[in-house]
Chains A and B, each alone.
Chain A
Amino acid sequence: MYQQQVDRSNPGCILFLVDHSFSMTDSFAGSPRSKCDAVATAINRFISELITMCEKGEEKPRHYFDVGVIGYTTDKKAIPIIGPALGGALAGRDLVSIVELYDNPLDMEERERDQDDGAGGLIKVKFTMPIWYRKPSPDMMAGTPMCGVFQYVKPILEYWCSSHPNSFPPIVINITDGESTDGDPEPAAADLRGVSTSDGNVLLYNCHLSSSEAEGVFLPDSESQLPDEFSRMLFRMSSPLTQKQRELAEVKNLRATVNSRGMAFNADGTKMLQLISVGTVAVAIDPSLLR
């Protein structure tokens, strides 16, 4: 299980579920950036790196992955608003291929980064940052229908698995900052994890973002490490790490045991990136992708 190499005949599937509740507009403790800004940057950067990883020096990057971003919130009357969140030509699509992502960025933003000038100093270097996903406007952000989003993506992944029966199973990364507002999500999460290919069941990882300075818990290996019932529920909803993921965690000096699950509780932006990194390397051909 969880051994299948990713190639064009057996591509991987990575699906982000992004909480669009209003509290995502709050900032992380000690940071001026809002949580939804940080999530957007992380997802765009991730897609850009995934495309780069699929580059072989040919006309286009190779179709090694299908990727999706699903947003979930409610309107002011608590009616769920759940659906694909990629923009531009890809709007309305639940899953798109790497090649489609490459061909259809929403925008190409010019940004600057510091680079070693070779003489002990730093120089600002311009680079192009493709954008595929933008945070929603605050007036479109309200509740957290977590049960609803798990139910929404289940048939999408069932269909994907039936079309890719021998692929590494889909990886779902749920990024949220609060408790479900549409009931107990555990049964729906269990249903989702029940979807499988011949190489294993869907892997569901949960990242809980925090505005408080409370200490975070990362890749816990038992419920007893967690402070309250909500966090323990997130633990139960999260899949264990595969062996390859544990090995990567070790390389990055992150503690992970055979019982560790793919979850972060009270995470800041850094821990969110680490969870995405550890979580997706299970299918990444090149572990250096997420250095």
Chain B
Amino acid sequence: MNAGSPLSTRPGCLFCLVQATPSMLRACREGSEEPRKLTLVCRGVEVILRQLLELHHRGIERVGNLSVAVIAYCHNSEGKLSFTPLLRETGKEPFLIHLTDLISREIDASEPKAPSHRLDSNLYHQLAEQSIDQPAASAALAYALHLTSRWLVTHADAWPAVILHFSDGEICDDHLMRSGRSLQLLGSASGSIGLAHLIFSEKVGRSVHGQRPSSPESCWQRLWELSSRISSSTSDMEERRALWVNANPWPVVERLLRETACQPVDPRDDGSPACVWMRALWYVKKGNAEQEWEDAFAFDASRAVAAICDGASQGIFARLWARQLAEAFVADQPNFQHSADLLAWVRGHRAAWLREINNRPGGLRWSQQEKVERDGASATLTTLQISINPQDNAIYWCAWAVGDSCLFWVRDNQLLASFPIAATRHFVLGPALLRTKLDSSPNPLRAKGRCLPGDLFLLATDAVAELLLRQVENGQPPDWNQFEVIEEGAWRQQLDSQREQRQMVNDDCTLVVVRVLPPMNSTTEGTTQPGG
């Protein structure tokens, strides 16, 4: 077999996030001669790389087009969050190296070396020594979500991503739970993400292989709940999850690779719409007139569907494009399950946009014509559909996202998860956009979950989303329930105040609020968007 040729065209990615703090320099048993935790992490990663290469040699399709990253995370001596790739010759973000590249480098070398040669354990050691002991696990999982999302946007029909989080298992605060849940929501065309927690700790003498940890390791119970379900290797009926303590990590990785590929994410079950209540709030960027608001929203409570769009300010006729997309999603409820589906849907609406702006000879001024031809319009799109599954009568939600407009999932007035961004530092310039110009589209991100009556969802364009997430990060989360009842004028005053204090960027703001109701009790209230 030619190791240089991919076995499978379907791409996959595996991220190893490894904690690099002073605690990882300690041995797994205090005062003992046992190797340090950090050494055990390196050994674990080396085993994983070796086994992946072995599977690749054997022609296993799941790893045929797999790329791998190993990333150390810590707060450096200046207190700044730092993410450092540990595989040698790693390129820029997302720091992935294709397995065939690892192999070809081995073959090119005059003396074949073990793949462990690729892991810079000295760098890892150095990072751990120089870091400060400050929790960074939540940021690491949010970062994993960021990297995986960006990778999925450019890799159509990918295998589900696999995330391995190596740590000392000391942190399981609410922030970590939120980041972890957000990460787990993310799916690909062929299944949900696989998330494993691989702990090296002095707290227990024995190993844990996926069983629910019992007291006194209650922190690990929370991590266990965050980890992906896996099958049991024994005949007992006990539920197993991808939480391993002081154990060789390969068996859990092998199971995640195999089992995550068997749970297709169906974006919308063939169920009936759930009962929901919906409203929308919007506010124009300060200094602009209301008719210059370039966001858009649309919803239909009777069909439990909502969409928001953020028209990119550098475009032309962006407001029209955003409105067309939001309204079209709610009207069509398209399914973007296959990579070509979104492109086909967007193409149809491009033609409508061109007609509407009067794009014909003499129809536009010279500078408009030039901008239409050069840039056109572009917009983000984030959607929510909620339905009742006829099989189990449970309520499921599913969402699509292109770009940085966000979905927040709230239960009991607490944020459970957000999609597709879990930390404010990942609101970056240049989000993915649906464009009128290019005849291609980024792949949409998808998320799905099971919700309960009483759950609250919020769809927010980036300025509001960033503000809400920052308030959560600062330990001063908003009163989420207020968005159901607040007068629009009062909400706008809040935003004015945040803008004045430079707590948020001056941008158009949109918030769609969705409350899941018990079945058979649907009502609607909404504000009308201008011109809509």
Chain A interface residues toward B at CB < 8 A: 5, 7-9, 48, 51-53, 55-57, 61, 102, 108, 128, 130, 285-286, 288
Contact = CB atoms under 8 A, between A and B. Distances in A.
Given A7-B287, A52-B374, A57-B316, 7 more contacts: A7-B506, A8-B288, A9-B287, A53-B371, A57-B318, A57-B320, A128-B366
In order of increasing CB-CB distance, the 9 nearest A-B pairs are A286-B314, A57-B317, A55-B371, A9-B287, A57-B316, A52-B370, A52-B367, A52-B371, A51-B367
B421 to A, nearest CB: 21
Contacts of B285: 7
B366 A56 contact: no
Nearest to A59: B365
A268 to B, nearest CB: 25
B506 A55 contact: no
B368 A285 contact: no
B317 A53 contact: no
Nearest to A49: B370
26 contacts: A5-B505, A7-B285, A7-B287, A7-B288, A7-B506, A8-B288, A9-B287, A52-B367, A52-B370, A53-B314, A53-B371, A55-B316, A55-B367, A55-B370, A56-B292, A56-B316, A56-B318, A57-B316, A57-B318, A57-B320, A57-B357, A108-B366, A130-B366, A285-B314, A286-B375, A288-B314
A53 B370 CA distance: 9
Contacts of B318: 56-57
Nearest to B429: A287
Contacts of B292: 56
Nearest to B286: A9
A48 B287 CA distance: 25
Contacts of B316: 55-57
Nearest to A247: B429
A156 B320 CA distance: 39
Give the residue among A9, A48, A53, A55 with the most B Cβ atoms within 10 A.
A55
A105 to B, nearest CB: 9
A53 B317 CA distance: 12
Contacts of B357: 57
Contact of B375 (A9, A48, A108, A288): A288
Contacts of B313: 285
Interface string B361-396: 000001110110011000000000000000000000
Contacts of B314: 53, 285-286, 288
Interface in B500-527: 505-506
Interface in B35-87: none
A172 B314 CA distance: 24
A48 B317 contact: no
A55 B368 contact: yes
Contacts of A108: 366
Nearest to A50: B367
Interface string B291-323: 010000000000000000000011011111000
A183 to B, nearest CB: 42
B50 to A, nearest CB: 37
A57 B319 CA distance: 9
Nearest to B374: A52
Nearest to B507: A5
Nearest to B430: A287
Contacts of A51: 367
B368 A57 contact: yes
A8 B367 contact: no
Nearest to B314: A286
Contacts of A128: 366
Given A55-B316, A288-B314, A5 B506 contact: yes
A57 B292 CA distance: 10
A52 B366 CA distance: 9
Given A5-B506, A52-B374, A288-B314, A61 B367 contact: yes
A285 B370 CA distance: 17
Nearest to B321: A57
A128 B292 CA distance: 29
Contacts of A61: 367
B428 to A, nearest CB: 11
A8 B370 contact: no
B403 to A, nearest CB: 16
Contacts of B375: 286, 288
Contacts of B374: 52
A108 B319 CA distance: 30
